[in-house]
Amino acid sequence: MQKIHEKSVIYDRELVYRPDSAGLPQVLHVDKSLLIISKPSGLLSVPGKAPGHKVSLESVMQAQYPDARIVHRLDLATSGVMVMARTAAAHRHLGLQFERRHVDKTYIARVWGEVPAASGHIDMPMRCDWPNRPVQMIDPDKGKRAITNFKRLEIKRGVTRLQLKPITGRSHQLRLHMLSVGHPILGDQLYAPDEAYRAVGRLQLHAQTLELYHPDGGARVTFDAPCEF
């Protein structure tokens, strides 16, 4: 597959899209309405505009399940659980759940430094930094409200392992919120300073659980993608 070279607008780091080295998505659950997948880090959720960005989770899964439809996205470098719909009715049902915040998600992250609080709440408005998009920025005046809850799981050798729960779903919310409190996520090409970026081989952010109402019958169901870091 063609390698696409881009530049991080903050740190001028080379970003190379290598979908062939990302690994294959893992199917966690499948039924007549839902397809639950664990997306690998390094794979786009949907095709990009560049010619070499056509391979994505969507295209890979549709080769096996032609009726699968994207409902939401994870960042290229973020791994973890995602849901795809297999019918038009399921797609509408799930789309409304995301819109109305009826879907609960938890993430695992490893961040730079020792987070002193056992748990906490980050409430910092965000907006796109338009001259440098897709980079996001904190803006108390013009930003949209963004809320993240966190729970400390472990501190080891100057790195803190956290459970993160986004209450809102802004682009790059977890990455920017952790940076804003002085604990950038390890391996973050866009936001982490060099030492935190180079400490690991990939972004240390993983979507671990996804809880939603099943489109058929409305039962509350939870899907889990174990974290590998």
**Measured distance CA(90)–CA(41) in Å, rounded:** 26
β-pair partners for 111: 160, 185
For residue 220, what are its two tokens? 């509350």
**Measured distance CA(197)–CA(228) in Å, rounded:** 18
Nearest to 31 by CA among 85, 77, 79: 85
**Measured distance CA(83)–CA(110) in Å, rounded:** 24
C-alpha distances in angstroms, 220 versus 51, 117, 210, 214? 40, 31, 11, 6
Q: What is the CA radius of gyration of the chain?
A: 17
Active site residues: 75
